[in-house]
Structure 1
Amino acid sequence: MRAFPLLVILCLASFHPEVVVAEPLPAPWTDYQVILWLGDSAGKHPGSDAQFAERMKEMGVTAVSAQQDADPSPWTAAGLRFYVENIVNRGLCLKWGSEVRDWDRFVTDWAKNGRPTSALIRGPSLDDPAWQAAALKQMRTVVQAQRARGPLLYDIRDELSTTISANPFDYDFHPKALESFRRWLRESYGTLEALNQEWDATFASWESVVPFTTDEIKARMASGRSQPGQKPDRHEVQQTRFDASTAGASPGRWNFSPWADFRTYMDIALARTLDQLRQASHAIDPSTPVGIEGTQMPHAFGGYDLWRLSQALDWVEPYDIGNAREIFGDFMPRGAFLTTIGESRALEAQRRLWHLLLLGDCGSLVWWSEDCVRWNGPGWELTDRARQLAPVLRSLRGPLAQVLRRASRETDPILLHYSQASVQVDWLLESIPDGSTWLRRFSSFESAHNRMAQARNQWLKGLQDLGYSPRFVSAAEIENGRLRERERGVVVLPRSYALSDREAAELTRFAAAGEEASGKRAILADGSPGMFDAHGKLRGRPAIAAVFPAIASETLCRTATAKPTSTPAGVTSAHTGIVTQRMTADAAAEWKTFMAWLEDQTRAIERSAQTPVEDRVRIHRYRLGAARLLAFERGVDYQMSESLKAQGGNTALETPIETTARLSEPGEIYDLESGKHLGRSDQIRFRLDPWKPSVFAVLKQRAPESEPVLETLMKMAR
């Protein structure tokens, strides 16, 4: 095993940050699991299972994949665990076994043929009782067959979506889906009159209610005409401009509710389906987690409301696009998280896997056996990639990793708003230049160009560079009083176009209480938050206009406390280039201006450890008994794609640096790799490797000299 040092700091601090205490998961997840995804070759050599299993153990693998009701006994007999993959194949992932699996050709032909509404019927519909019954039967059958064999987890489906990935399309106009949609509308609005008023519609009965298609809502945006059935003029749509300061002059043009409500319902349909399948599994095997693989970024299409999904799952393997891993992690503090290893270079895999372990990942999926074994050679030797990965994989199960996994993460009283209603509004506004070609705004494009995602990432990375550990907070959590728990803190509204009345009331109360609280409260925002209600309808004035009146710019950053909004600071979020400025060798002027402003606005939130902002170091803090743990890593941008490739752009952060960490209190410093006691101080100067978290440790008192400090910490974990 190749040894490599880590820098971790253990300290006792007077500042009491928020602590996320994760309840213990079922027994398999007390130790980090390295799972190998098995290709066809593993099953083409009968009688050689034991030899293959030995090669996997040599690599550091602890478990393998098993399809549905496949017998895993050859692997379990050799001491490997397994998980059950892709239990419900038909209907959840249209990439396989559907008539639209060639999505590019499908939408191209649909546009050429006049965009018929008949194509808007999803096959199969998630609301079709026959499909629901078949899916539940499949789930129960597989779980019944596998539960006695002790699986690590059940995977409902990989890369699932209501469309394909997060590609835009107006599914689902199936009669059963429309029936369910209307029932949900009645529950939401109560009366048809209330619905018509919100939608600017004239439906005579509930049975006649149909949602607007994307083309119809774009026709409303361009023309201001309120009724469905309109075809958009491409040039008219492209000339449309949204200006928050003047939009009220033509409110009907910006009422997206007949479209946004349907997008919300499709999010509900997917989350409801997953929860029903999870409950069916738990009824048979309550101890094994149920989840999904290969998820998308927050999006208006595909069913990707990450808050709703988080409430329907026990575990997730997310594609880390648009900060999805951070969002899921904050929404699922008791959940299990895995990642797929697609890197060919061991250093890149090492950096990301340790980063994710620091976030709380409990396992990884190695893609795939075909790249890890020389199937045609004697003895089935490991490939170069597998041999290089082996020490990395073993380190994730080593003593330091075990200590970190048993500690509780600490976060700061800084919350970033997650609003699916705002995601929907943003998609319509960002797709204006596309005109009629909006259907080709594929998720691969969105992951690289979506301005809301860039703004969200800018706020998050900026706060992390300052040494903070912020958390995402959902609209539902704010509505349910999450902000009332805080005497001090900061709420960030990144592109929060839409706010419900309850959200607005809670935010206003939070800001108004700032002067009375023992510590400062502040709201930071870009643009004009709350211009739309939770259904995507333009308000007469912003929901929190008392502190954030409407302005023309969607990127200008502002601050609000108990007093009226401060003078705009002249700093912006997520216009062309500003996010990438952070990743340059010497961050450019606009990024530095933003960071100086952000540091000033958050100054009241104490930092128990910090490094120079220009070093772009991320600090992870934990509590383990009376000890505090901190881990340091370079603040790399981990944007991934569905092809398992990183987006790149991190070159400036891929050289070692000398940096100094300042602690709020002094302590006894230890080097955790060597175990040496380095003295007592409130500063630590060290060399930070760009490919792994780096080391030092601090305790309030010296650790016993009779044992290594890691053993002392492991005793605390027990």
Structure 2
Amino acid sequence: MNPLKTLVFVSTGILFFPTPSFGQKKSDPYENYIQNSKDFKPVKQEKDLAYQAFPGWLFMPWTAQWHIGYNEQSAAWCREQGYNGAFIDRSDIAAEGSPTGRLDWINKNRFRFYVDHAADKGLLHLWDGDRVKPYLNDLHGTGVRTVPLNETTRKKLQEHLRRNITAVKSSAFRAAYALDDESSWGHFVHPTMWQITDDKNAYANWLKEIYGPASPKRDRWISYEEIRPQLARWKIQDFDASPLMDQWTFNDAYWSNYLGDLVEYANKLDPHTPCGIVGGQAPSAFGGYDYARLMRKVQFLESYNLGSSQAIIRSFNPHNALPAVTTLFHKSSEDDIWQTWYYLAHGNRGHIAWVEGWFDGKTPKAWHKEVAPTFKEAGEKIGPLMAGSEWIHDGVAIYYSHPSIQLGWILDAEAHGKTWVNRNGDERLASASHVRHAWENMLRDSGIQYSYINYVDVIQKGIPREFKVLILPACLCLSDGEARRIKEFCRDGGTVIADYLPGLWDQHGKGRTHGVLDDLFGVNHPGNLTARDLFGGKLWVEVDQDANFSWKTYQEFLTNQNHCLRDSSGFNKAVRSLPVNQVKSLESGKAILMNLSTQWYNAYRVAGVESARKREIFMKPIAASGVVPRVRLKETGDEVHGYEITYWNKKMEDGKNRTMLFLCFNPEITGTSLGGGNSQGLKTATLPVTFQFRDEIRGLTDERTGKQYPAGREFPFPWKQNEAVVVSFASEP
């Protein structure tokens, strides 16, 4: 019998894939930029440092409404509940740089803590709530950020860091420094048109770096309003969103470098503690949330689970070295328990918990006792067991193209007309977000795990050979270098699957006369395509997002005032005149252009298991590539519909490898730019389920109960659906 194959990463002490050889000149200016620019050089990211800071699972209450004080009784209560972490805010550190009594309480009780707003608030994060209203004209205008990021601002930020880090670095229990909460070069990911810095030469110099000697001369900063009216008359070959997209990319680049410099300054003050940001947002055209850049510039990250951000962060953290956490907002005990198991199963290292409504006066509410066993099990048992483990995918990669996210926003926002300035909650509306979400759930519902790969790594190193399948989700914008790497992957035996319009624009948002991958897929996307030739024949995109701004269900979102051409498969056609499911062989590989959007799967999945079977048109080429689930549940039907299984490789103290497996429930997840990650439609029943493994498994152990099983392929377990079944087994025969 063949053993279950396990992908084992060899730890190099560095978070990302091997660093490219910077300094190697390329003839293509964009490739040369990606290969050599400071924009993509990572800060120090050491696995040992990260695990010293986060040795297991930390539950860190953000104690803004903490009514029980910092004394022996409150510490004992924290331990009883499994609250094994803490936080210190910049307001807890006196002006002269001495910490308040909270640090003594933390040290005495050995709670690992992070420092929030270590670089203060109001510089990297500008306004809370309604305080932004007087500045909306600035946000939407083409001037300079109200607090420009320059040397003056840098010195202020460094002084805050110096004071706050000096105040706490004597503690042996510091886990991380957060520069700021919900930091952004604008305001969260609100549509923002301004320039990030008042350095008059910065943008021009950056354009020379990214374009080479033929860089465009841009003598002014523009707004989306200069692009929007042209969308209705542009053909793809006439399309030129580069003046706007280049501005956003420059802001992202300047921002990520600025954060990286602050992280390195924090490391000089305290080289033993990770530094990063908290309150991270969805991938977006605004605010600095190009995760291919951001993940290279931080050592610690708390991000809300919006727009696939958690899966993207996990994927760009291949050794699971960078400590990633998310925020827990209490909605119910069942949801708290589910969040703990779900985020453990996906590689997170803890929760920052928003303390609101936790107490009646000084009396903790009853629900704390309901969730305490889960929090303690995560902190004392499963969290430490997961330390050092590394994600296992099934050979499927999803492509992360940030220029496509930018262009997607430009196309999506057309429906709003001049009211685009009011577009918030982009992760609820964006085509790119919904398409990614559907791909993820089609894979997980089929028993397949995946990782994202990004445009930077692909240009620098190509597509890793550990992948059999590459999925291009709404990858509208691709550079020539990316296209070459994708074709190399296919030629070497990989399967490439695109949903719609792959590479019809370049990385700057300039339209092409033909798609850069048309020869790969054996199709012709003529450059004279217009919005009338796509989807509903009115907008460039599938959904009128203005008419559906406040949608409640996926069914409503996809049908209200939308008139797309629905294929017999049940999914909307992209180019109305082209066929669907085009397959072409290239040497030993295959390329499939679906010419379909995946968005309808979001509605089909909610409707139940039978409706969700419509995903098979997208899953068949993946199965044909040789990707087979490692394990499935023997049970089928609506009772178990929505389950997910994740896998991690763990090198044990005896030098042998074990696979850690989590069975958890994967419901819809809700949240806003202010936080979230709560479940929607959570199931809580206890069901008897049976794992059916592809290969014989040896040494299987239930890590929650300690029960051991003889070798076999089928193993029965009781599963409470808002908890997780956690087992491990030998990775070698």
Which TM-score applies when normalising by structure 1? 0.80
1:409 paired with 2:391, answer yes
Q: Which amino acid aligns with 1:477?
A: D
Shift of 1:52: 2.6
1:479-526, Cα deviation, whole Å (9 max, x unpaired):
11231x417610000000011111011111111222xxxxxx100111
Give the distance between the partners of 1:343 and 1:383, measured in 2 at CA: 12
Alignment partner, residue 691 of structure 1 = 722
Alignment partner, residue 546 of structure 1 = 519
Once the two structures are superposed, the pairs formed by residues 279-678 of structure 1 within 5 Å of their partners are 279-333=264-318, 334-368=321-355, 371-374=357-360, 376=361, 380-442=362-424, 444=425, 446-483=426-463, 485-486=464-465, 489-514=468-493, 521-548=494-521, 549-551=523-525, 552=534, 553-554=573-574, 561-562=585-586, 572-574=597-599, 577-588=600-611, 591-603=612-624, 604-611=626-633, 615-624=641-650, 625-646=656-677, 649-651=680-682, 653-668=683-698, 669-678=700-709
Q: Which amino acid aligns with 1:562?
A: L
Consecutive unaligned residues in structure 2, runs of 5 or more: 16-46, 94-98, 526-533, 535-572, 651-655
Give the distance between the partners of 1:530 and 1:399, measured in 2 at CA: 47
Shift of 1:271: 0.8
1:123-173, Cα deviation, whole Å (9 max, x unpaired):
1012x3211221122222322232112321101000111121111020227
8 Å CA contact retained: 1:13, 1:608: no
Q: Which amino acid aligns with 1:73?
A: D
- The counterpart of 1:91, out of the listed 100, 120, 123, is 123
1:373-424, Cα deviation, whole Å (9 max, x unpaired):
44x4xxx442223333322211112334432334333222211100111011
Give the distance between the partners of 1:557 and 1:186, measured in 2 at CA: 41
Give the distance between the partners of 1:169 and 1:415, measured in 2 at CA: 31
1:447-473, Cα deviation, whole Å (9 max, x unpaired):
222121111011111112222221000
Alignment partner, residue 123 of structure 1 = 146
Q: Which amino acid aligns with 1:330?
A: S
Give the distance between the partners of 1:292 and 1:466, measured in 2 at CA: 34
Alignment partner, residue 4 of structure 1 = none
Q: Structure 1's 85 and 597: CA in aligned 2 closer, same or farther, altered over 3 A?
A: closer
Q: Which amino acid aligns with 2:215?
A: L
- Cα RMSD (Å) of the superposition? 3.0
Alignment partner, residue 218 of structure 1 = 228
Give the distance between the partners of 2:286 and 2:201, measured in 1 at CA: 20
The worse-fitting range, judged by mean Cα deviation, of 417-426 and 142-151 is 142-151
Q: Which amino acid aligns with 2:491?
A: A
8 Å CA contact retained: 1:421, 1:534: yes
* 1:172 alignment partner, SS class: coil
* 1:322 alignment partner, SS class: coil
8 Å CA contact retained: 1:155, 1:291: yes
The worse-fitting range, judged by mean Cα deviation, of 382-391 and 466-475 is 382-391
Give the distance between the partners of 1:50 and 1:183, measured in 2 at CA: 58
1:681 paired with 2:733, answer no
Q: Structure 1's 488 and 74: CA in aligned 2 closer, same or farther, altered over 3 A?
A: closer
Shift of 1:18: 5.7
The worse-fitting range, judged by mean Cα deviation, of 342-351 and 397-406 is 397-406
* 2:496 alignment partner, SS class: strand
8 Å CA contact retained: 2:391, 2:647: yes
Give the distance between the partners of 1:585 and 1:340, measured in 2 at CA: 29
Alignment length (residue pairs): 622
The worse-fitting range, judged by mean Cα deviation, of 591-600 and 448-457 is 591-600
Q: Which amino acid aligns with 2:394?
A: D
Consecutive unaligned residues in structure 1, runs of 5 or more: 1-10, 197-202, 225-246, 515-520, 703-718
Shift of 1:106: 4.3
Alignment partner, residue 517 of structure 1 = none
1:540-575, Cα deviation, whole Å (9 max, x unpaired):
21111112335544386655541697786686411x
Give the distance between the partners of 2:678 and 2:375, measured in 1 at CA: 23
1:39 paired with 2:64, answer yes
Give the distance between the partners of 1:697 and 1:91, measured in 2 at CA: 46
1:94-123, Cα deviation, whole Å (9 max, x unpaired):
224xxx95335643x679xxx765xx3211
Shift of 1:283: 0.8
The worse-fitting range, judged by mean Cα deviation, of 153-162 and 25-34 is 25-34
1:331-355, Cα deviation, whole Å (9 max, x unpaired):
1232101122212312111111111
Structure of greater Rg: 1
Q: Which amino acid aligns with 1:50?
A: E
Alignment partner, residue 131 of structure 2 = 102
Q: Structure 1's 649 and 50: CA in aligned 2 closer, same or farther, altered over 3 A?
A: closer
1:159-203, Cα deviation, whole Å (9 max, x unpaired):
111121111020227542x53111101222233xx234xxxxxx4
8 Å CA contact retained: 1:263, 1:301: yes
